[in-house]
Amino acid sequence: MLSQEQNEAVTRVGAGTPMGELFRLYWIPFYPGADLPPDGQPKRVKLLGEDLVAFRDSDGRPGLVANACPHRGAPMIFGRNEECGIRCVYHGWKFDVTGAPVDMPAEPANSRLMEKVRLKAYPCRERNGVIWTYMGPDLDNPPRLPEFEWNLVPAENVYISYRVQECNWLQALEGEIDSAHAPILHGRIDNQGAINDWIAKKDLRPKFECLRQPFGVSIAARRAAGADNFYWRVNQFLLPYWTLVPPQAKFPELSGHAWIPMDDENTLCLMFSYTPVEPLYPRTRELMETGHKGRETGQASRDCYAPKPPTTPYADYWTKFTPENGYRFDYASQRDAWFSGVPGLWVQDAACQSLMPIYDRTQENLSATDAGIVMTRRVLLKCAADYRDQGQRPAGVDDPQNFLVRAISVHLPRQSAWVEASAPFMKASLGADFGYAL
């Protein structure tokens, strides 16, 4: 378990907190480009506790600026997005995507106020349909964008969704690097469906081994697979809030999340699923887009959303599965078919992670299956402390290729050392297939 001080340190993300300052060193994939059209409606955003507004100007440039106008604090979410700038509706002050003022109606012609005032703004970059922002200390000279394979493969190879989850970012992240829960929480009791064919379902007592990596942590779960082999599933944690999940479906894809803190109690969940070489299977894409018979997959389906007013951060990405409605838990379903009674993969995870906004980890009782979670917490706390106390930045901040990593699910002879045997498969190489039999 963590001490109360450690739990505070690893969960709080506001400016000036150890974790908040660590997160600000990295680029953040904060918005889907298709949902931000030129001269379209500005969208309220919250990242790391900061109240912001996203918009795309007439020339197609994305911008991310403070919600409060620097004149007298009027909300820029109501701003007019027109003619290469966003104009506050209170007094008409207008700013470009860099936060520079371009018009101040009612000011005297000889006023020098435009030389002094700026709207707080963060640099944005767009790559393959995803808009990234940098909120760190080097705004004029940010690091290069990280090279994540999912953001570099052709568009037909990948599916991406966004949703808001009502809990602290770490609770969501820890759920995905916990390989022990998947065949239990997501299982069925009626022996129907593909989940019961998972290899992981056949051995519910995996042995865990963890390895500290330059990018974060590799978390390997070993299960029996016949007399001669072990089945190794290796989840990956990548600093500061990324998780990668091994393939396992009949039509396998690689997948993962960015668990982006909106504030201390809400998380923006970006999920990506992709195939490294071939286009994503049409049926797979269809299931991700629509769900299956009213149930969600790992992706947020297009029918799961319950939009909120535009003054709500990420208003378009709140879902109909909430703590208030019990994530639509159905006892009859739990009794007759599904182990959890909660409708769909990500909904089951969210239901188990969102009992309280920030879990008090002084009350937990960790087990052998939590080895990866323990190491991940240690890495996060150490990296945050090293940056706070010594100015030491993690390797991935300045090395874009640090993120070219894959999670794997591989059969190995029992005498093989998984670290050496699987190392080539855990390196992502654009245009290269899985590299092993699935």
Q: What is the per-residue pLDDT across 389-412, written as a single tens digit (0 to 9) for each?
A: 999 999 899 999 999 999 999 999
State how far the Cα of 290 lies from the Cα of 303, in Å rounded to an integer.
7
Residues 6+ apart with CB under 8 A from 378: none
Q: At what angle do helices 345-353 and 169-176 cross, to 10 degrees?
A: 130
Domains of the chain, with CATH numbers? 32-134 (2.102.10.10), 149-426 (3.90.380.10)
Higher pLDDT, 184 or 61: 61
Neighbours of 86 (CB within 10 A): 27
State how far the Cα of 304 lies from the Cα of 319, in Å rounded to an integer.
5
- Per cent of the chain over pLDDT 70 is 97
CA 81 to chain centre: 28
* Per-residue three-class SS string for the chain: CCCHHHHHHHHCCCCCCHHHHHHCCCEEEEEEHHHCCECCCCEEEEECCEEEEEEECCCCCEEEEECECCCCCCEHHHCEECCCCEECCCCCCEECCCCCEEECCCCCCCCCHHHHCCCCEECEEEECCEEEEECCCCCCCCCCCCCCHHHCCCHHHEEEEEEEECCCHHHHHHHHCCCCCHHHHCCECCCCCHHHHCHHHHCCCCEEEEEECCCEEEEEEEEEECCCEEEEEEEEEECCCEEEECCCCCCCCEEEEEEEECCCCCEEEEEEEECCCCCCCHHHHHHHHHCECCEECCCCCCCCECCCCCCCCCHHHCECCCCCCHHHCCHHHHHHCECCCCCEHHHHHHHHHCCCCCCCHHHCCCCHHHHHHHHHHHHHHHHHHHHHHHCCCCHHHCCHHHHCECCEEEEEECCCCHHHHHHHHHECCCCCCCCCCC
pLDDT > 90? residue 200: no
At residue 203, the pLDDT reads: 56
Do 275 and 262 meet the contact criterion of CB atoms below 8 Å apart? Answer: no
State how far the Cα of 94 lies from the Cα of 99, in Å rounded to an integer.
9
Do 123 and 96 meet the contact criterion of CB atoms below 8 Å apart? Answer: no
pLDDT > 90? residue 47: yes
Longest pairwise C-alpha distance within the chain: 85
At residue 121, the pLDDT reads: 98
| CA distance readout (Å), 100 to 116, 155, 208, 405 | 10, 34, 53, 39
State how far the Cα of 208 lies from the Cα of 200, in Å rounded to an integer.
13
At residue 261, the pLDDT reads: 98
Q: What is the per-residue pLDDT across 204-225, written as a single tens digit (0 to 9) for each?
A: 678 999 999 999 999 999 999 8
At residue 198, the pLDDT reads: 53
At residue 126, the pLDDT reads: 98
At residue 1, the pLDDT reads: 80
Q: Give mean pLDDT, residues 132-149.
A: 97
Question: What average pLDDT is seen over the chain?
Answer: 95
At residue 226, the pLDDT reads: 84
At residue 208, the pLDDT reads: 92
pLDDT > 80? residue 193: no
Task: Write down the residue that tokens 């109909």 correspond to.
Answer: 320
Neighbours of 362 (CB within 10 A): 12
Tokens of 353: 């992670």
Query: pLDDT tier at 302 (50, 70, 90 boundaries)?
Result: very high
pLDDT > 60? residue 240: yes
The amino acid present at 347, given as its one-letter code, is V
State how far the Cα of 240 lies from the Cα of 403, in Å rounded to an integer.
11
Q: What is the per-residue pLDDT across 326-375, written as a single tens digit (0 to 9) for each?
A: 999 999 999 999 999 999 999 999 999 998 999 999 999 999 999 999 99
At residue 326, the pLDDT reads: 96
pLDDT > 60? residue 306: yes
Compute the C-alpha angle 392/395/396, nearest 5°. Answer: 125
Do 179 and 221 meet the contact criterion of CB atoms below 8 Å apart? Answer: yes
Query: pLDDT tier at 13 (50, 70, 90 boundaries)?
Result: very high
Tokens of 112: 């020098």
Task: Write down the residue that tokens 């970059």 correspond to.
Answer: 125
Do 399 and 405 meet the contact criterion of CB atoms below 8 Å apart? Answer: no
pTM score over 0.85: yes
Query: pLDDT tier at 199 (50, 70, 90 boundaries)?
Result: low
Query: pLDDT tier at 48 (50, 70, 90 boundaries)?
Result: very high
Query: pLDDT tier at 201 (50, 70, 90 boundaries)?
Result: low
